[in-house]
Structure formats: structure tokens, C-alpha cells
Structure 1
Amino acid sequence: MWSGVWNGLTLHVRHLTEQDLPAIESVQRAVIDELTESAHYQALTTGEFQKLLADRTIIGAYRDEDLIAFRALLIPPIDAEHLGRDIGYPEHSLERIIYQEVTNVHPSFRGYRLQQHLGHLLMEAFSQDVRFDLVCATVAPFNIPSLKDKFALGLRIGALKPKYGGKWRYIFMRELHTGWHGDGLVTSVEMADTARQVRLLQDGWYGTGMREIDGTWYIDYEKQA
């Protein structure tokens, strides 16, 4: 899939298989062990990893013989919480949506921007996959690292709604086979101003970026060109 030098690391990135499962779970354990409050981390089960492996939606970066990072997309069930419904996607096309799922980087290799590198490789791979047309993801407001990651991968905010028991979440989206361009007429809204963001999104605006001004975070909104 990809081999080369990334920020000084010589890596081989490929789709992972069932044989990689012990290494995958080892990386996840290392990530959990480094957390101060592991309850805030949603660990995947062996069965969940096996589904990602069977669907060929998980890639990993090997350094020599060691797996040091992995990132995955998820083929979701068509259920009541499906993100496609949140952005008004046609019901008959929900099966053509895939989700951003988990990313783990071994604690010894933080700071190399491996999450972003794997994200770009994964998006590039699935832009050639005829099974899917759209990638979606949810991010909590003020989860700054995750918001930056989604914008860096070309996703935009298509909705802001209560999810998962009433918690507010941005619904991100990106077409896999066609481009999207904003009109360049940017309206910036404080991230804390939920009501105004909801109104803009309902009126056909999209969140296309973020910025920090004097310690306050803003989301940039545009309409389609």
C-alpha cells in the first residue's frame, strides 16, 4: 500500500489481516496503559477488530517487525443512529456510507503525525473503492485534536445534533469520488454557540474549518460554491 520514510521513520503501511490481530491488540493495550483515565477510552473488542479485518477496512504501519499504529473505517449497521440520516442523505443510499472509526498510535511513536498520515492513506484507498460514496464521522465540540484531524482529511461539518443519549456531536462528511468546494464567503461562529451553528447548518451552510482567536475557538462556515 505504501512504503517509505515518514518524519524520519521507515515504514511499511498495508491492509491488516487476521494474522495481525495480536499486534493490533498489543498496540491498543499500550495506548490504554498510558492513559490517566482509561474509562474515557472506548476500547474495541476482539470481535470488533475481527469485523474490521474481515471487511478490509483497517490499515497499519509497521516499523521493521513491529506494528506501531493502525487506523480503520467501519461499515456501519443501518440503524436508528445512522449518520446518513443526520445529514439528510437518501435512505436508499445509506449502505454506501462508511464511518471513520478507531486510530491508535503506540505511545513510543507519538509526535510523528502518524494518525494524519494513515488517515490520508486510508481516504486515498477508499476513494478507489466502488462500494462507498461518503465517509462520515462524529466529533464532540471542543475535542480539538479530533476536530483538527477531520478537517485535515478534507471532511466538513454537515450537522450538529444530540447523539448517543443527548450528547451534542458534529456530524462530519466527505464525498469519496467527487469534490466539494465552498464559496469562500466565510462566517465564523464561536464553537460554544450551538444554536447559531444549528441554524446555519439547517440553512445549507457547512463547517469547513476552525480557528482560535484570543483563546476562543471558532468554526468557519461556508455554503457550496
Structure 2
Amino acid sequence: MKLLYEGTITNQVLHKKLPFSMKRLYLEDLPTIEQVQAKVMESITEKNSLQALTTEEFLFILNERGLMVGAYVEGELIGFRALLIPDINEEHLGWDIGLPLEELDKVIYQEISVVLPEYRGNRLQQKLAEVIMKELPKLEVKFRYICCTVAPMNIPSLKDKFTQSMYIAALKEKYEGLKRYILVKDLEKTDVHYREHVTVKLDDLKKQKQLLSEGYVGIGFQLVHGFHELQFAKPVL
């Protein structure tokens, strides 16, 4: 087993620091992966905020249509992150962000990212993201765009994506009518500058859609009178 990362992590229930490591996940890890996902889904009050993956979707990823990285404490899987190479069909996120057909095969998705409740607050999602993105170039196909969906009001997940320099490019209905932000990162444009910054309340989806239609993108959070608001701006082309 090749370790991709080693460090320490705090168990928030035991208030104890423990050694942990990360490694690639494979088909034989599927039962454990699904157990961890089930535990995380049970702990979430707003079920629509996280789109769980089916067994078929996990199999798709693990059968060389993506990659997964897991975090372990004392041999127990405590969290994982997945990248998925999507089929090119009418649901492809590339269409939602305005990519032409010939660019769709350059898109890979950041899929589900979960951490057991007792290990939250350690920035583990971010560490998993850093490690899995280092593994990305090892795939046979080279990708330019990283895309994902996030539910509005899911502040932890949005923070995670903004930390990775992803931005909100669209707000659409996905997964049979659920509203989702579509976020993207162009790996060939690493030094993006913005102008005309504005902030919008988290629940003002109408205003957000208007700004997106006018060429703005969502780039982060800003505290306004002690509350998070989304920050939008126009990229300098």
C-alpha cells in the first residue's frame, strides 16, 4: 500500500490527536466506502445538500473511470474524495458552463467528498483535495477543466471549492429538479483577475442568476454585518 500522505488528526469526540494517512482506493475498498457514505448521510440533517453516489457510480469510478483517495486512522476509513471521468451526454456539466462539444472530453468531475462527523473541523476535505489533485496527472487522459456541483446554502462545501480556486459559473436545476451551483476550475488559467465585485445574500438565487447571466462568476464569501454573503465579480479577459 503506497501512502500518499501522513499526518495527525483530531478525533473531536475523544479530543485526541491520532496519526492518519491517505491512499488510493480500489474495487476491494467498495464495501467500506459505502459504509462511510451511509454513516455520513445519516449524520446530515439536510439530505438534499449532499448527492450520495450509488453502487453503480462507485463501480464506474473504481473501474478506471476516475480515482478515489481515502483517509485512514488506525486502519479505519474516516473519509474519502472522488474524481469522475463523466460520460458525454445531455447532462454533462460542460454544457452548463458553455463549453463546446470538442472540449467536453477535457472535463473531469470532483465528485462526492465525505468525512465522518467525529473528524470534521480538521480541514480534511481540503487535504484530500490537495492529495487527489496531485494524483490527477497520473491518469492516462489529460484534463483541463475540473467541474462539480454544490447545493446553495452548503457553506462548508462552497468554502472547500473556493479554497481550490474554483468559481461558480452557473446555477441550474440538476438531479431531477434540485438547484445546484456548477463550479469550475480551468487548469490552464491559473492567474485570473477580477473586477466589479459585488456581494449577494446566500438565499437571493434570483439576483445570483441575474449576475451569472451578465458575465459575473461567484468567487468566494464576504462577511457583511457578521453574515456570509457570496461575492461575485467579472473575470478580466
Counterpart AA for 2:21? H
Q: Distance in 2 between matches of 1:39 and 1:166?
A: 11
* Structure 2 CA distance for aligned equivalents of residues 149 and 171 of structure 1: 14
Local SS of the residue matching 2:162: helix
Between the two proteins, what is the percent identity of the paired residues? 41
How far has the Cα of 1:178 moved from its partner? 3.5
- Matching of residue 89 in structure 1 with residue 99 in structure 2: yes
Q: Does 2:114 align with 1:104?
A: yes
Q: Residues 49 and 154 of structure 2 are in contact (CA less than 8 Å); yes or no, is this contact kept in structure 1?
A: no
State the number of aligned residues.
225
Aligned partner of 1:51 in structure 2 is 60
Alignment of 1:9-48 (within 5 A): 9-35=18-44, 42-48=51-57
Deviation at 1:185, TM superposition (A): 4.1
The SS at the match of 2:110 is: strand
**CA–CA distance in structure 2, aligned partners of residues 38 and 194 of structure 1:** 20
Given the two structures, how large is their TM-score scaled by the length of structure 2? Answer: 0.82
TM superposition shift of 1:109 = 2.1
Change in CA separation of 1:224 and 1:99 when aligned onto 2, cut-off 3 Å: same
1:213 and 2:224 equivalent?
Answer: yes
Q: Which amino acid aligns with 2:84?
A: L
* CA deviations over 1:70-106 (Å, ceiling 9, x no partner): 1101222222221111111111111211112112222
CA-atom RMSD, angstroms?
A: 2.5
- 1:6-38 deviations in whole A, cap 9, x for unaligned? 444422212111122222123223324444576
Code of the residue aligned with 1:170 in structure 2: it is Y
1:140-190 alpha-carbon deviations (Å, 9 max, x no partner): 221222211211121101112333344432110002343141235422222
Counterparts of 1:18 and 1:92, CA distance in 2 = 31
Give the structure-1-normalised TM-score. 0.86
Residues 58 and 71, structure 1, Cα contact 8 Å, conserved in 2: yes
**What is aligned with 1:162?**
173
Aligned CA distance change for structure 1 residues 205 and 53 (closer, same or farther; 3 Å): same
Preserved contact between residue 127 and residue 176 of structure 1 (Cα < 8 Å): no
Kept in 2: contact 1:206–1:222 (CA 8 A):
yes
The 1:170/1:25 distance shift into structure 2, 3 A limit, reads closer
What is the rounded CA distance, in whole Å, between the counterparts of 1:210 and 1:36 in structure 2?
23
Aligned partners of 2:174, 2:24: CA distance in 1, in Å? 31
Is the partner of 1:179 in helix, strand or coil? Answer: coil
| Number of the residue aligned with 1:117 | 127
Q: Which runs of 5+ in 1 are unaligned?
A: none
Query: CA 1:9/1:209 → structure 2, altered by over 3 Å: closer, same or farther?
Result: same
Q: Are 1:224 and 2:226 counterparts?
A: no
